Structure 1
Amino acid sequence: MTLRRSLTLLAVALGVALTGTDGAMAAAGTAGQQRSAVTLPATSWGYVDSAAPATAYFKPSGSLPIGTWDNTPHLQRSYVDFDLSSLRGAPFTTVLLSAGETHYVSCDGRATEVWRTSAYTQQSTWRNRPAERTRVASRGADGTCLDNDATFDVTTAVRDAVDHKVRHLTLGFRVAEAHEADPAFYRLIEAPPTLRVVNNAPPATPADLRANDEPCAKDGTGAMASRRLKLSAQVSDPDGDFTSGQFTWWPVAAPSQRHTGTGSGSSAAAYPDTSALADGTYAWEVYAQDSWGAKSSTVGPCRFTVDRTDPKAPAVLSATYPANAEGGGVGVAGQFTFSPNGSTDVVRYDYNFGAGTREIAAGPDGKATVSFTPTANGWQSVVVRAWDRAGNLSLSTYYSFIVKETRPTVTSDRYPPRGGPDGGIGVPGVFRFAPGMPNVVAYDYRLDDGAPATVRAGQDGVAEVTITPATGGDHVLFVRSTDASGATSPDREYRFLVDASPVVSGPENVDLGTSATYTATPRMPDVVEYDYWFASAESTKWTVKANAGGTTTLPVEFTSADQNLLRVQARDASGGLSPVTEKRLSLKTWRPEIGHEGDIATEGRAATFTFTTPMPNAVEFEYWLTADPATRWTVPVSGNTARVSYTPPKIGDYEMLVRAKNTAGVWSATDNLTWTVTNDPAVTSKEFQANARVFPGTFTFEARQPGAVAFEYSLDWGPFQQIAAQDGRAVLPWTPPLPPEGSASHDLRVRTVTAGNVSSQEKTYYFSVLSAPYVSSKEYPESEWSGGAGVPGTFTFTPGMPGIVSYTYSVRDDGGAVTAESTVPADSSGAGTMTWTPPDRGIYSVIVRGNTADGTRSGGIGYSVYVN
């Protein structure tokens, strides 16, 4: 391809047009054009290796290495070359070198550098590697272990090369010199790297500047701020790039004291910490910046003012209800005036008379007035707080006052508020009115929506009236008093209940299988009969006639355990029904107890259940399963117990219920027992439990599936193997392998199988194996305070794996410092000992590993020593 052809293609990709005849490029659009990008491929790449100083690795397949890949001096550096001729005359703002990582050794081991070097060719080797000229980019550890999309900004190097008409640019990758010999910093990068050339338009100038949602104020105080301050602006980018607002603010009186903040998104916002700002007026401005670093013009300055001084607690005044004194009365409205108490910028108040907080705006003088009408007498209060322009809140003012009680009091012996046993429909009752203010001469009263009436008061201001309720239910008697001057009190609302349901009397504690008699007395006129029933059997009702006085007796037999709520209803001569009276009974239901003996959880194995009853004269138990309630069995009572056997036919969840019956045929309440039946085998091992060691042992299997002929087992999710069952049992010998990291967790899955190849449920047996030795000491038992400084102790090491010939140990204090370290031989049994004398009181750790003849090391173990 000719140079002219390649330039044309690049110009199309970058959104530029060729002009003239020399291949120069110029921008094709305006400043608002969209961002353009093109990727330049590498023309050559490769690496050099100090271990092969005369070998060239030109355009190798696979990734490019940097650093030392093992513990020997074996340094590797990589290089990539780009042809920049297509960029001459083309506009660009950013150039990124894409070199994604494909391998790492340590998350913290990154110290990658990019250098501009002399040319890399097919003849480049370690011995004649490219000369490093300028470091153009670097990257260290940043919390990511492997960055598949790693990039380096090489804009400066590319622009310099283009400006000096350098056609080929070679960039070298290496690990920083301080870490280049450390294998932990070794990394591989994808090959070949590429250059991403970007021409980016700057963001638009920010718009709609606001402080605490108030438009930009060029002068004056601007928005007021106390503990909350939000600076915001609308930002955008013609390329659609992620864009942020960069905010700056400073005291108007001290422009050099600048603070900055950043907000992202189209509605960018910064939140200055007002606690770090002194009270006063501030200026602020903002510019937009996109993800490529391009900036817009700066807009501003605007203003805001910080005011973190709280207003004073407000003053409260009321003529009708003076502070801490009696005034007004129930139903008498009073005016309460709130004033700023010396503060100059109060704009509103919140207040609460005990029924929720409300707000009211302050007038130009900082005052506000509210009206309150008490509905109860006695001590009351209002809590008031003041708010200033900046949102500062004052302390609360508690204003207490006493509301006079001017309403009369109303009482009635026959008709108390919640009703009484002597009242009822058509039953007259006396209501007594007593004064709540002086010189009462009369009372006006009205029952519900009835006609009003008046009664004169006696010399003591008291009056009595007789009222006969014509209907049952809730009623309201409205009463107000009038004094000698003609002044009236607010209404007293006396609410009372006329209970028309019958009064039912009789025993409340009863026994199942007995009988009782209850008496029903009417609370409505012309009662001729009663219906009564139990709530548990609404369809079974009994009816009895009433005597001339409307009273009757109710015979009841307790034959069911759910007869604990008796309901009674009266009926008058016209067929009208009273409300229902409910009498709750404490019924002794003689509930039996069900228990079991031995194993009841194995499929096909007979289980024994025991029944015990407290019921007098019990003769029989009936029992059944919830899953099959139609099939029931009985067993006679012997004394007060019985024993039955039941064999679960299959695995699953079971529930058994039982009840007792007496000689009269009355059934008790039921008891229940739930259990789960399984058929998975039992697995046990003496040797292989938590923290076993690397020595042979056995597992014992015991079948719980009827007809099991063999066991199938799988170790660590390997294939299942089979072992025959002998009388339902089998023993599996096993020698654990040496754990690769000193310890290993294992799981053994076991199931049984019948001759018909039916498998049982699976049992999983979990255990772990360690290769670490055991440690013991008579003088210093583990984690127990013992011995003392200067008191020697003997520590015995026994093997946790075969072939141990010696032990290496160290003793560390609680700060981690090593106080003793050595290797001791093992005897013919594999045991070894060492003697150690603590230098001081404290907590120490004895850390031990075993060694075999071929140099294999066991896992380590720590033994805590508490020295008195």
Structure 2
Amino acid sequence: MVRTHVRRSTLPGRRMPGRRRRLVTLLTTTLLLTGTAAVLPATASAAEPPPLPVKTLTRSSWAYTDAADPSHIKVNASGDAPVGASVDAKGPHVSRTYYTLDLTSLGGKHVIGAALTIPEKRATDCARRAVELWSTAPVTGKSSWAKPPAELTRLATAGAPAAGCPADLAGLDLTAAVAKAVQAGEKTLTLELRVPAAHELDPRYGRWFANDVSLKVTYNTPPGIPANLRTAYPDAPCATTAPGVFTRAYDIPITGHYADVTDPDPGQDLVAHWEMWSLDDPSVRRDLDWPVTNGQAYAQFDNPWLPADHTYAWRLRVTDGVDTSDWSPTCYLTPDSVKPEVPNVTSEVYLTDDPWTPRGGIGVPGQFTFTANGSPDVVRYEYRFTGQSDWTSVPAESLGGPATVTFTPADSGSFSVGVRSVDRGNNYSWEQYRNFTVKDIRPYVWSTLYPPYSTNPGGNIGVPGVFDLSPGLPDTVSYDYHLDNGPDRTVAADADHNAHVTLAPTHGGENVLYVRNTGADGTVSLYREYKFQVDTAPDITIEGGLQIGSEATFRLAPRLAGTTSYTYWITGYQDEPITGPATVPAAADGTGSFAWTPLDTRAQAVRVRSTDAAGTQSEVRYLSVSVDGAAPYVTRTGGADAPGQPGTFTFRSSLKNTAEFVYWPSTDPAHKLTVPARPDGTAEVTWTPTEAGNVWFTVQARNTAGVLSSEGSTFFTVYDSPVVTSADFVREPAGPMRPGTFTLTSRMAGTVAFEFAVDSYTTTDVAAGPDGTATAAYTPTTSGYHTVYVRARAADGRTSGWGYYSFTVTDQPKVSSADYPAGQTSDGAGTPGTFTFTPNAPGMTGYVYVVHRKWPDSADEPERTVPAGADGTASVTWTPESYGDYYFTVQGRRADGSLTETAYYSFSVRNAPEVTGD
């Protein structure tokens, strides 16, 4: 058994377990006898690091000898065990005591510590004690004082106790003796307790001890040899001879290796020590430590150090931190880095150089043979045909040999077969795909009376129809056919290989005609399934439309001969039953009818079937329907835009026999009102909103029978926010930056003031007049886009919603010219023109302007300044030198020197007209 520690790998990322046993070193206190006084410490400690197991042994038997009876031994007597000299009524005695311990429970264990305790019962002289503990040969029935068991090793001595007696002999270290006996395979250990020879005859040293002892043994059981060794991918058991398991080279770090591990001592942390080395070069090796989890050892060896296509050996042993198992068997593997060649695939029936020429046929089997294309270690092939998403595996007939599979097409058209090789290292080749085309050798079927899949077929039960059969095999000699589950019949083909059969359906619904053809060489195709419908469902017509509350009549005409009655039912969404099923009789001519008055709009389908006198039922006719809910049309005129403002609502209904209308606003949905309908199916009501908000005004018509129509409605919004208007500040175009006013008109009753602001919600109050209006003054300070925010407030603190009014002002001056109007072309070059600048803001002291020429040559004239008159206006005269496109840029200047925004004025100039004389 190996009892040395394995080397630990210091590879990064290999964490050792949290708890690690160390080989336990037990400290033994040596018992010394000095002179005639032997001193034994009260306890002798042995380190027992948990959770190493502990076993307590007691004697299996005991005995003592007595010099007073030198030829006999007392075995398992009752009473205390005498040691040394003593005197009683029978005379003097000298005794030695023997304890026999059963060691069989320690077989196979590693004894780490053993401490013995012998209870002392009494002493002749407490202060005088000298005892020795020996291991001896076993006690036998012939043992006696005269022939004692041979003393082998003195294990311990003890002197006078430190304080008082009786004093137990406790913690006597028997580690070496017990370990030696267990290692030697001894089943028992015999211990002798005696007084040393120097004092053995002195009665003062006589002692009595318990006839039993307690031996506390700390031990460890080595882990078992790892078993069930295997490689993960491919999942293969240990191969104990080279070259071993073949695996893909790049799977080495992924695959790993496994082994099952057992340890008789529960709760210990086990670590597996793995070794792997190259058979070609043993210096190429790797040692790896890895924790054992749930009884399984696992290791991953990194790939770079393993050259592919060489054979490697690996093994492991396991340590629990104290003991180490023997090595496992050595396993072998060979990483294979060579992919097999792309396999070849052949088929005499289906594969040719022309994949588009149809071959074989539906139901015609064909063999496909896969060959390794020179790869000697192929063990299997994987293949799939069109329509198969998964690969199917087939073993090679021998290592590197072929494999053959059979494929029988169930359909015609284009197919492909894909195949790949897999070698013994589980390397996959590239995939090979071959295309082929399968002939449809089934016959073709057609019937004019019974066309396939027709939604409106002709014919009927018992009505014969001709079915034309044409060949799928070019040399067809006959056709076999049967209708549904009927008997098979055969008809010969004519000279053109065609045939015609007449058949009469025996039932309604789907019928299937099965037809196959036979060739001159005996080839028989699969059946073609020709599916056609026989429509026996009755025809349905509706007189008039379907409207809620109005009776509709459904007229029924039979397609099933001998119809005597009709059964109908009406369904809604997801076949929700609405009415029926109900049955009505058929007239003598087989027709029938039923009436139905829809009370709501749920109906989506009418279903009807007929029944003949024999109880035969037809197919079900499905007729999709929609019920007009006759929802009223609602219009609003004249108000209801603000609280307290009445509006007029007009209702119009197409519901027959409308008697009244039920209406309600969404502001009070629980309170429904009614109004009688006029003879023309209309009505008119007035409604006044009391609060702001969105309103749905909903109406239903009710007829004289009490049936309600669907709901009609109109939507509108009631506003209580103030209305803002202004003649000074218009929305478009931009106005001048001059003082002006806004008129505020309330739409909320009881308004006493308006909260007014521009461009923010920081408001000022403007008092409202008795008529709920007010005027707010405002002077713009900046040009641009502005928004007025205003809301009304009542005396009780109520406020309306916010009203908004947006406008734009600008301080850029206005430019005008009668001589050169903006955006127009005028005569002419060299002709002076007057341009007038008018302010859009007060305080203009002058104007800065520049004349720009855009075309034909870009040029700017020097910037010029003209003072403003008392009214803030100014005029300049400018003469164009030549034709072209021009524009002015003008800015007003204030007294503080600041300039307004720039105004642009564009126009065009023609050449001056030529003047000629007579």
- Give the alignment's TM-score, normalised by structure 1: 0.49
User: Whose Rg is larger?
Assistant: 2
TM-score normalised by length of structure 2? 0.47
